[in-house]
């Protein structure tokens, strides 16, 4: 069962929750915008469904509502940002703006982040570069839930990668994907709907394929993109490892099995190797390579030609970002569906802070 809420209602409510947590008005407004952007784009696993998790992390004193987000090391084109245990929803936009400013001067800007938390959808941050005629990149490491190929132990997060590329007349190319076959949030949605998971998403504690969406609770693991070695899981493992190294080893955040879990009831790993979660952002000025209008015109050509590719029967060839754009238009106009268990969570959050939902 789903309930429909307007974008305005969800952003207003989440903003008030962040304010009650102690965030400044500026940070609360930004955090609510980033969070609900996921719901608008149809990525329900990373939107308001995560709100109660942020509250619990704050209650466990693992989120600092008033962080001093700052650059701790930099060169003309690179920087390391310390998020001071703040909401990733506000740390990440700060870091992306640093990357954009450096790209404006140096042609490219690269920023690695430590001491942060879950930052919402990667695509939101990568897309910030588009208004500047820049290509944007965003990635983050995450709770260790993923077993490397041939392993039973959980070592990596879902570790998403997002790349946003501007075009001229056509909408931008926006790829935003986990380096696992499916993100953990999709398992949570299946759990709420009492549905099984497809083969290739998860394995049990002994490394056997499973369709039980609750498998992680029993010691199982998510699988890298590809599912198994025969279908290329080693490539998904490599992608996830690259994200972990760029986001955390490079910045001084916790990496691999030391990455802090999103859920507050799980303890932090002993003997941490860094600080908090890590992110990595990039911005590349298009005209550092060729004239921006010329490039964007050719991106239009690229997009148009790929859209015109002969489809298989009953299907349509899409460009990365198409489904999310369509969902954004529909949900902005007709409202955002929220599953009943998520509504219940949000009602409990509302009661905790004496708010109406």
- What's the CATH number where 167 sits? 3.30.1370.60
Is residue 162 located within the same domain as residue 189? no
Half-sphere exposure of 91 (CA within 13 A, CB side): 34
Closest CA to 50 of 118, 4, 143, 146: 118
The number of residues in the chain equals 357
Is residue 94 located within the same domain as residue 197? no
First to last CA, the chain: 17
Extract the tokens encoding 249: 């080893």
pLDDT in tens, 35-59: 999 999 999 989 999 999 999 999 9
pLDDT reading at 300 higher than 90: yes
What is the predicted pLDDT for the residue at 99? 98
pLDDT in tens, 169-186: 999 999 999 999 987 778
Is residue 91 located within the same domain as residue 163? yes
The enclosing domain of 38 has a CATH number of: 1.10.1530.10
- For residues 70-83, give the mean pLDDT: 98
Q: Is residue 6 part of a domain?
A: yes
What is the predicted pLDDT for the residue at 183? 78
Is residue 272 located within the same domain as residue 136? yes
What is the predicted pLDDT for the residue at 188? 81
Q: Is residue 320 part of a domain?
A: no
By three-state DSSP, how is residue 95 classified? helix
The one-character DSSP state at 165 is E
Cβ neighbours of residue 61 under 8 Å, at least 6 residues apart?
Answer: none
Tell me the pLDDT band of 1, cut-offs 50, 70 and 90: confident
Q: Is residue 316 part of a domain?
A: no
By three-state DSSP, how is residue 249 classified? helix
Is residue 98 located within the same domain as residue 4? no
What is the predicted pLDDT for the residue at 101? 98
pLDDT in tens, 255-291: 999 999 998 888 899 999 999 999 999 999 999 999 9
Q: Is residue 318 part of a domain?
A: no
Lowest mean pLDDT among 88-97, 205-214, 258-267: 258-267
The enclosing domain of 213 has a CATH number of: 3.30.60.50
Is residue 170 located within the same domain as residue 203? no
What is the predicted pLDDT for the residue at 193? 85
Q: Is residue 315 part of a domain?
A: no
Is residue 127 located within the same domain as residue 193? no
Average pLDDT of the chain, as a whole number: 96
Extract the tokens encoding 152: 């039973």
How far is Cα 338 from Cα 98, in angstroms, rounded to an integer? Answer: 34
How many independent structural domains does the chain possess? 3
What is the predicted pLDDT for the residue at 127? 98
Is residue 23 located within the same domain as residue 105? no
Tell me the pLDDT band of 202, cut-offs 50, 70 and 90: very high
How far is Cα 155 from Cα 240, in angstroms, rounded to an integer? Answer: 10
Q: Is residue 313 part of a domain?
A: no
Strand partners, 180: 224
The percent of residues in the chain predicted with pLDDT above 90, rounded, is 93
What is the predicted pLDDT for the residue at 16? 98
Is residue 51 located within the same domain as residue 117? no
The H-or-E segment that residue 352 falls in is: helix 340-352
How far is Cα 151 from Cα 283, in angstroms, rounded to an integer? Answer: 35
Closest CA to 277 of 252, 249, 251, 254: 254
**Global pTM?**
0.95
- Could you tell me the residue range of the domain that residue 165 belongs to? 67-179+229-308
CA distance to 14, 294, 316, 325, per residue, from 298 (Å): 40, 6, 22, 21
What is the predicted pLDDT for the residue at 201? 94
Closest CA to 9 of 332, 316, 353, 341: 332
pLDDT reading at 226 higher than 90: yes
What is the predicted pLDDT for the residue at 189? 82
- For residues 14-31, give the mean pLDDT: 98
Is residue 163 located within the same domain as residue 210? no
- For residues 247-261, give the mean pLDDT: 97
Last residue of a domain, one of 197, 222, 247: 222
- For residues 144-154, give the mean pLDDT: 96
Is residue 53 located within the same domain as residue 109? no
Read off φ and ψ for residue 241, nearest 5 degrees: -65, -40
Q: How many CB atoms lie within 10 A of CB 203?
A: 21
Is residue 172 located within the same domain as residue 297? yes
What is the predicted pLDDT for the residue at 273? 98
């Amino acid at each position: 069962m789903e309930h429909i809420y307007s974008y305005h209602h969800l952003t207003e409510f989440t903003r008030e929750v962040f304010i009650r947590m102690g965030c400044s008005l500026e940070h609360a407004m930004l955090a609510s915008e980033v969070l609900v952007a996921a719901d608008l784009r149809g990525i329900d696993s990373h939107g308001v469904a995560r709100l109660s998790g942020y509250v619990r992390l704050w209650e466990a004193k693992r989120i600092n509502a008033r962080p001093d987000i700052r650059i701790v090391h930099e060169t003309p084109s690179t920087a390391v940002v310390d998020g001071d245990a703040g909401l990733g929803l506000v740390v990440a936009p700060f870091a992306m703006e640093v990357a954009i400013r450096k790209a404006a001067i140096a042609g490219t800007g690269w920023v690695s982040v430590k001491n942060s938390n879950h930052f919402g959808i990667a695509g939101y941050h990568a897309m910030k570069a588009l208004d500047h005629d820049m290509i944007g990149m965003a990635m983050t490491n995450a709770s260790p839930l993923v077993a490397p190929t041939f392993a039973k132990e959980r070592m990596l997060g879902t570790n998403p990668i997002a790349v946003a590329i501007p075009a001229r007349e056509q909408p931008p190319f926006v790829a935003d994907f986990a380096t696992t076959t499916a993100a953990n949030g999709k398992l949570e949605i299946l759990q709420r709907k009492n549905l099984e998971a497809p083969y290739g998403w998860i394995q049990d504690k002994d490394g056997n394929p499973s369709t039980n969406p609750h498998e992680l609770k029993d010691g199982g693991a998510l699988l890298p993109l590809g599912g198994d070695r025969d279908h290329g899981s080693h490539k998904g493992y490599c992608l996830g490892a690259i994200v972990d190294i760029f986001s955390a080893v490079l910045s001084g955040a916790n990496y691999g099995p030391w990455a802090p879990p999103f859920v507050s009831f799980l303890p932090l790993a002993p003997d941490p190797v860094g600080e908090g979660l890590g992110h990595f952002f990039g911005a590349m000025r298009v005209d550092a390579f060729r004239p921006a209008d010329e490039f964007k015109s050719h991106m239009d050509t690229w997009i148009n030609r790929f859209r015109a590719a002969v489809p298989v029967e009953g299907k349509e060839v899409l460009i990365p970002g198409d489904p999310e754009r369509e969902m954004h238009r529909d949900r902005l106009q007709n409202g955002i569906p929220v599953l009943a268990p998520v509504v219940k969570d949000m009602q409990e959050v509302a009661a905790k802070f004496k708010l109406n939902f």
